[in-house]
Chain A
Amino acid sequence: MHHLSKSRNFAIMLIPSVAVYTLYIVISVFVAIYYSFTKYSGVGVEKWVGLKNYKRLLTDRYFIIALSNTGIILVVALITLVVLGFLLANLLHQKLKIKGVCQALIYIPIVIAPIVVGVIWLFILDPSYGFINNFLRYIGLGDYSRSWIGAKNNLAAYSIAFIYFWRNLGYIATIFLTGINMISDEIYEAAGIDGVNWFTKMIYITIPMLKETITIVIVLVVTGVFKVLEIVTQLTNGGPNHLSETLVTYSYTVSFNTGEYGYGMSIATVTFMISLVFSLFYINVINKKGK
Chain B
Amino acid sequence: MRIKKLVAMLLVVSMVFMSAGCSNGGSDSTTEVEKNISESISTEGSEDEPVSFTFAAHFADLKESNAALYNIIDTFNRQHEGQIVVNYSGSADKSVHITAMKLAAESGSLPDVFFLPTTNAVEFYEAGYLYDMTDMIEQYGDLDEDTLNSLYESKDLQDNSIYGLPLTALVTGFWYNKDVFDRYGVAYPDEGTTFDELLTMIDTFKANGVTTIINGAKTNYSVWAFLLAFARYGFFEHDKAIAAGSDVWSNDDFIKYFEKIQQLQEAGAFAENNSVTDFFQAKELFLAGEAAMFDSGAWDSAVVSDALGEKAGFWWGPIFEDSNYNQQYLMQAPSVSVRVNAESVKEPEKLEAITEFMKFYMSPEADQIRVDNGTVPLTSVDVDASNVNAAFAKMLEALKIEGWISVPYQADANLSEVVQEALYDSMFGVICGIYTPEEALEIMDEVQTRALEE
Contact with A152, one of B95, B102, B421, B433 (Cβ below 8 angstroms): B433
Name the B residues within 8 Å of A260 (CB-CB).
Answer: 417-418
A1-36: CB near B (< 8 Å → 1, else 0) gives 001100001001101110110011000000000000
Cβ B454 vs Cβ A43 within 8 A: no
- A256 within 8 Å of B (CB atoms): yes
Given contacts A13-B8, A20-B23, A43-B102, contact A241 B276 (CB under 8 A): no
Cβ A241 vs Cβ B218 within 8 A: no
Closest to A1 in B: B4
CA distance A42 to B99 in the complex (A): 8
- B5 within 8 Å of A (CB atoms): yes
Cβ A239 vs Cβ B127 within 8 A: no
Name the B residues within 8 Å of A126 (CB-CB).
Answer: 273, 276
Cβ B271 vs Cβ A128 within 8 A: yes
In chain A, positions 138-168 with a C-beta closer than 8 Å to chain B are 147, 149-152
CA distance A23 to B19 in the complex (A): 11
Name the A residues within 8 Å of B278 (CB-CB).
Answer: 237
- B182 within 8 Å of A (CB atoms): no
Contact with A150, one of B16, B95, B275 (Cβ below 8 angstroms): B275
In chain A, positions 181-225 with a C-beta closer than 8 Å to chain B are none
- Interface size for B (C-beta < 8 A) is 46
- B428 within 8 Å of A (CB atoms): yes
Q: Could you tell me the distance in whole angstroms from the C-beta of B67 to the nearest C-beta in chain A? A: 28
Closest to A240 in B: B275
Q: Could you tell me the distance in whole angstroms from the C-beta of A122 to the nearest C-beta in chain B? A: 7
Cβ A43 vs Cβ B127 within 8 A: yes
Q: Among the interface residues B124, B432, B435, which one has the most CB atoms of the partner chain A within 10 A?
A: B432
Given contacts A17-B19, A41-B123, contact A259 B218 (CB under 8 A): no
Q: Could you tell me the distance in whole angstroms from the C-beta of A83 to the nearest C-beta in chain B? A: 30
Given contacts A41-B123, A240-B429, contact A128 B272 (CB under 8 A): yes
Name the A residues within 8 Å of B276 (CB-CB).
Answer: 122, 126-127, 149-150, 235-236, 239
- A129 within 8 Å of B (CB atoms): yes
Closest to B23 in A: A20
- A94 within 8 Å of B (CB atoms): no
- A243 within 8 Å of B (CB atoms): yes
- B434 within 8 Å of A (CB atoms): yes
CA distance A112 to B418 in the complex (A): 35
Cβ A258 vs Cβ B4 within 8 A: no
CA distance A147 to B129 in the complex (A): 47
Contact with B434, one of A15, A235, A240 (Cβ below 8 angstroms): A240
Cβ B417 vs Cβ A3 within 8 A: no
B206-222: CB near A (< 8 Å → 1, else 0) gives 00000000000110100
B267-308: CB near A (< 8 Å → 1, else 0) gives 000011111101000000000000000000000000000000
CA distance A127 to B277 in the complex (A): 10
Name the B residues within 8 Å of A41 (CB-CB).
Answer: 102, 123, 417
Name the A residues within 8 Å of B401 (CB-CB).
Answer: none
Q: Could you tell me the distance in whole angstroms from the C-beta of B284 to the nearest C-beta in chain A? A: 12
Cβ A258 vs Cβ B429 within 8 A: no
In chain B, positions 417-433 with a C-beta closer than 8 Å to chain A are 417-418, 421, 425, 428-429, 432-433
Closest to A47 in B: B454
- A44 within 8 Å of B (CB atoms): yes
A224-236: CB near B (< 8 Å → 1, else 0) gives 0000000000011
Name the A residues within 8 Å of B120 (CB-CB).
Answer: 43, 259
B81-107: CB near A (< 8 Å → 1, else 0) gives 000000000000001001100110110
Given contacts A16-B16, A43-B129, A258-B421, contact A240 B432 (CB under 8 A): yes
Closest to A129 in B: B273
Contact with A16, one of B15, B217, B421, B434 (Cβ below 8 angstroms): B15
Cβ A42 vs Cβ B271 within 8 A: no
Cβ B428 vs Cβ A241 within 8 A: yes
Cβ A237 vs Cβ B218 within 8 A: yes
- B12 within 8 Å of A (CB atoms): yes
Cβ A16 vs Cβ B19 within 8 A: yes
Cβ A256 vs Cβ B275 within 8 A: no
Contact with A127, one of B126, B272, B433 (Cβ below 8 angstroms): B272
CA distance A259 to B123 in the complex (A): 11
Name the B residues within 8 Å of A150 (CB-CB).
Answer: 273-276, 432
CA distance A41 to B129 in the complex (A): 15
CA distance A258 to B95 in the complex (A): 9
Contact with A3, one of B5, B98, B275 (Cβ below 8 angstroms): B5
- B22 within 8 Å of A (CB atoms): yes
Q: Could you tell me the distance in whole angstroms from the C-beta of A256 to the nearest C-beta in chain B? A: 5
Cβ B218 vs Cβ A42 within 8 A: no
Contact with B106, one of A42, A122, A241 (Cβ below 8 angstroms): A42
Q: Among the interface residues B1, B11, B12, B126, which one has the most CB atoms of the partner chain A within 10 A?
A: B12
Given contacts A13-B11, A128-B273, A258-B418, contact A44 B425 (CB under 8 A): no
Closest to A263 in B: B418
Q: Could you tell me the distance in whole angstroms from the C-beta of A47 to the nearest C-beta in chain B? A: 9
Q: Could you tell me the distance in whole angstroms from the C-beta of A261 to the nearest C-beta in chain B? A: 9
Cβ B425 vs Cβ A242 within 8 A: yes
Q: Could you tell me the distance in whole angstroms from the C-beta of B269 to the nearest C-beta in chain A? A: 15
CA distance A12 to B13 in the complex (A): 10
Contact with A24, one of B18, B23, B95 (Cβ below 8 angstroms): B23
CA distance A257 to B8 in the complex (A): 48
Name the B residues within 8 Å of A42 (CB-CB).
Answer: 99, 102-103, 106
Cβ B275 vs Cβ A236 within 8 A: yes
Cβ A44 vs Cβ B123 within 8 A: yes
Name the A residues within 8 Å of B16 (CB-CB).
Answer: 16
Q: List residues of chain B with CB under 8 Å of any chain A CB.
A: 1, 4-5, 8, 11-12, 15-16, 18-19, 22-23, 95, 98-99, 102-103, 105-106, 120, 123-124, 126-127, 129, 217-218, 220, 271-276, 278, 417-418, 421, 425, 428-429, 432-435, 454
Name the 5 nearest CB pairs between A and B, nearest first.
A150-B275, A42-B102, A240-B275, A150-B276, A44-B127
A-B contacts, 6 of them at CB < 8 A, read A16-B19, A42-B99, A42-B102, A44-B126, A241-B428, A258-B417
Q: List residues of chain A with CB under 8 Å of any chain B CB.
A: 3-4, 9, 12-13, 15-17, 19-20, 23-24, 39, 41-45, 122, 126-129, 147, 149-152, 235-237, 239-243, 256-260
Given contacts A16-B12, A45-B127, 9 further A-B contacts (CB under 8 A): A3-B4, A20-B23, A39-B454, A43-B129, A152-B434, A239-B432, A259-B120, A259-B417, A260-B417
